[in-house]
Each structure stands twice: as C-alpha cells, then as structure tokens.
A and B are shown apart, each in its own frame.
Chain A
C-alpha cells in the first residue's frame, strides 16, 4: 500500500564511490521529484520529471543524474560521492498542477565517509 517508496532508507559509503537511490510511486501521478534535505533541515528541489521528461533541473553538480525509466519510477544516481553529499534525499510525486499535493517518500539518509 506504500504510495511513494524509496530504497534504500539508509546508505553509508566511502568518498569516491558511485551509488543509486531508487524511487517508485503507485499513485498514478505524472510528475516525480527529488529533494535534498541538509543537516539544517533545509529542503531544496533538485530535479523534477513529468511523464519521463526532465522539467526542473536546479543547479546540481552533474555527478547527480536522475533517470526515469517510466512514469512510476525516478532513480537518482550519484557519481564520485563527496562528503558534502551527505544528506537525506526525498523522492516525491504529484499530478502536475498547482493545488495538487506532493506525496513524499520516507527519505534516504546518505552518509559519505
């Protein structure tokens, strides 16, 4: 019954490694998002996909690459991990359009050592 799921929930890795976070939604939404929440709880949008098309791409290092194989999935791949990438990453989905609520996944806490 999980609406927006992310795997893994926790990820601990060494600097320089490459890792992926997967996200799936079963709500039939046409838009999916990735957010980064830093240690001060500041939540900032990274990417947004609508019907598998990239529509929002904030100023994010190109080490971060989102991939949307279909409308229900939006994965985040991170190359050459750095200490500053440590954060909680949230996936979310909604129907595109103003008043529609965004449904968030449980978050993935990434720790880079």
Chain B
C-alpha cells in the first residue's frame, strides 16, 4: 500500500528562522507527483509547492523549497525567513498513476513572534 508519513506532528520556530518539515512516502511506482499543501486556521487548503518524480531538480517557490530524494523516498519542505502567516497545518501528499492523492497526517507549524 502507498503511504505518506510525516514524522513531526507539531513544530515551533521563531519568526525569520528557517524550518524544515519532513515527509517520507512508500511506493513501487516510478512516475508520480508530490505536493505540499498548507491549511491555515481559515481551513482553506492551499498548494505550496509540487514536484514531479522524474525531475531531479528540486522545486522552489519563493521562500519555499523542497529536498527531494527519490531513492530515499523523501520529500522535505524548507521554509526560509518564516513569517507569522506561515502558521498552519502542512500536508505532504503523493499522487499516483491512478490519480489518487494520499495525504500524510500533517505537521502543525507555529511561527512565534
């Protein structure tokens, strides 16, 4: 079975610091897609960043970047210069060839002033 594991249920960092959220997944597929979604207190699910498994280059979106290690099946999210608005639940997600998306259990991130 395909699974997504986020080993950090909760994290806190000071504003302006850098924080890394970990994610590992398990699959026998070779081509797939990985995502990080953010869910702030407003409950809205927002895409943060995505990565195609066939691309070796790590995706970057402004302050957000990933460290994608395909062999290790690891997909961590780095947030640089963290801001108060980054406070949210962060979900790692895996999309398989059948178009099914599997989410991890989430990491609750607190950015402290």
Contacts and interface: CB of A to CB of B under 8 A. Distances in A.
Contacts of A88: 43
A69 B44 CA distance: 25
Interface stretch (A12-20, A60-68, A76-84, A98-106): A98-106
A56 B44 contact: no
Most chain B CB within a 10 A radius of its CB, from A40, A43, A88, A96: A43
A104 B45 contact: yes
Interface stretch (B19-27, B67-75, B78-86, B97-105): B97-105
B52 interface: yes
Contact of B99 (A42, A43, A56): A56
A56 B95 CA distance: 13
Contact of A45 (B39, B46, B47, B101): B101
Chain B contact residues, majority secondary structure:
strand
Given A88-B43, A106-B44, A99 B33 contact: yes
A101 B105 CA distance: 19
Contacts of A96: 99
B37 to A, nearest CB: 8
Contacts of B45: 90, 92, 102, 104
Nearest to B100: A56
B44 A104 contact: yes
B101 A102 contact: yes
Interface in B37-90: 39, 43-47, 50, 52, 89
A55 interface: yes
A42 B50 CA distance: 20
B47 A40 contact: no
Interface string A33-50: 100000011111100101
15 contacts: A31-B99, A40-B105, A42-B105, A42-B106, A43-B106, A45-B101, A48-B99, A55-B98, A56-B98, A88-B43, A92-B45, A99-B50, A99-B52, A106-B43, A106-B44
5 interchain residue pairs of minimum CB distance: A104-B45, A98-B33, A43-B103, A101-B47, A107-B43
